[in-house]
Amino acid sequence: MTSGRIIFLNGTSSSGKSSIARELLDILDDGVFFHLAVDSFNAMRSKRELGAEELDAALRRTRMGFHRSIAAMAEVGNDIVVDHVLSEPWRLVDCLTVLPPESVLFVGVRCSLDELTRREQARGDRPSGLAAFQYDLVHAHGDYDVECDTGTASPRACAERIREFLPHRPSPSAFTRLRRQHLAGAR
């Protein structure tokens, strides 16, 4: 069985990943794509109050499970649009470990800090300053197959750019290059 394609959108909170993912589901017509969002996984957790240490452990397990869910869906041939925030180095390393690197189109979703702050305030469902905190962290690895700027292009235009790029994925892919860089000593 052929592994499904994974379009992996990485950007800060409020950068437009979910909007791009919805547009991709609307315009991609060469397969059946599923949108898997880290926020959806977080929303499935019980609402019981947790202490800081217990919450950190639960969030780490949630994200590890999310990564493995992506891998499992792709392994059986499903095409996936992933919406994630790689704001901690271990998240990227875990994804590099469990996802098939040549199946991943790694997309950087960027936006100016001023626009992120404006969007965050308008949304009202995120802690103030979250996007600013994540701003330098999510793109620290520095390597993508393709990038989009949602401050200068609409979600639809970004989705069209990704759709046009999809059949021309580079080899080696950004995930393959990053895997060599981050996992070389781990094997």
Point out the residues that are catalytic.
39
Cα–chain-centroid distance for residue 158? 15
DSSP E strands in 73-165: the ranges are: 79-84, 104-110, 146-149
User: Which single residue is written with the structure tokens 């994925």?
Assistant: 169
109/144 Cα distance (integer angstroms)? 10
- DSSP class of 166: G
Contact present, 19 and 155 (Cβ < 8 Å):
yes
43/171 Cα distance (integer angstroms)? 36
3-class SS string, 14-26: CCCHHHHHHHHHH
164: buried, middle or exposed (CB in 10 Å: 19+, 13-18, 0-12)?
A: exposed
